[in-house]
Structure 1
Amino acid sequence: MSKPEDNAIPEHAKGEFPTRDGRFSRWLGRVGLRLFGGWKINGEMPDVNKAILPVAPHTSNWDFPIGVFVMLAMGLKLNYLAKASLFRFPLKSLMTKLGGIPIDRSAPNGVVGKMVSEFEAADEMIVVITPEGTRKKVTEWKKGFLHIAKQANVPIIPVAFDYARKAIDIGPAMMITGEIEKELERIKSFFAHAQGKRVEFS
Structure 2
Amino acid sequence: YSRAMNFRCDFLMKSEWFFWPLGILMRWLGGIPVYRSKKMSMTDQLAQVARERDIFHLCITPEGTRSRTEEWKKGFYYIALKAGLPILLYGIDYPTKTIRCTQVVVPNGNIDKQMNDIKAYFKDFTGRHPEKFATGLK
**TM-score, normalised by the number of residues in structure 1:** 0.62
Residue of structure 2 in register with 1:140 after alignment:
71
**What is the aligned counterpart of 1:89 among 1, 20, 43?**
20
**Residue 62 of structure 2 contacts residue 73 of structure 2 at CA under 8 Å; is this kept in 1?**
yes
Amino acid at match of 1:168: I
* SS in structure 1 of the partner of residue 58 of structure 2: strand
**What is the aligned counterpart of 2:105 among 164, 169, 174?**
174
1:165 and 1:156 map into 2 onto residues whose CA distance is 24
After superposition, residues 1-202 of structure 1 pair within 5 angstroms as 70-202=1-133
**Residue 65 of structure 2 contacts residue 132 of structure 2 at CA under 8 Å; is this kept in 1?**
no
TM-superposition CA deviations, 1:117-147 (whole Å, max 9, x none)? 1111111110001111233211011101101
Of 114-123 and 128-137, deviating more is: 128-137
1:180 and 1:135 map into 2 onto residues whose CA distance is 25
Amino acid at match of 1:93: I
Structure ID, larger Rg:
1
How far off its partner does 1:172 sit? 2.6
Identity score, percent? 35
Report how many residues are paired: 133
* Root mean square deviation of aligned Cα: 1.3
Amino acid at match of 1:96: R
* SS in structure 1 of the partner of residue 108 of structure 2: coil
Unmatched 5+ stretches in structure 1: 1-69
TM-superposition CA deviations, 1:149-201 (whole Å, max 9, x none)? 11111000011111232211112322010322221111111111001111222
* SS in structure 2 of the partner of residue 183 of structure 1: helix
Which is bigger in relative contact order (C-alpha 8 A, separation at least 6)?
Answer: 1
2:102 and 2:38 map into 1 onto residues whose CA distance is 33
Amino acid at match of 1:152: A
2:106 and 2:39 map into 1 onto residues whose CA distance is 27
* SS in structure 1 of the partner of residue 71 of structure 2: coil
Amino acid at match of 1:91: L
**TM-score, normalised by the number of residues in structure 2:** 0.89
Unmatched 5+ stretches in structure 2: 134-138
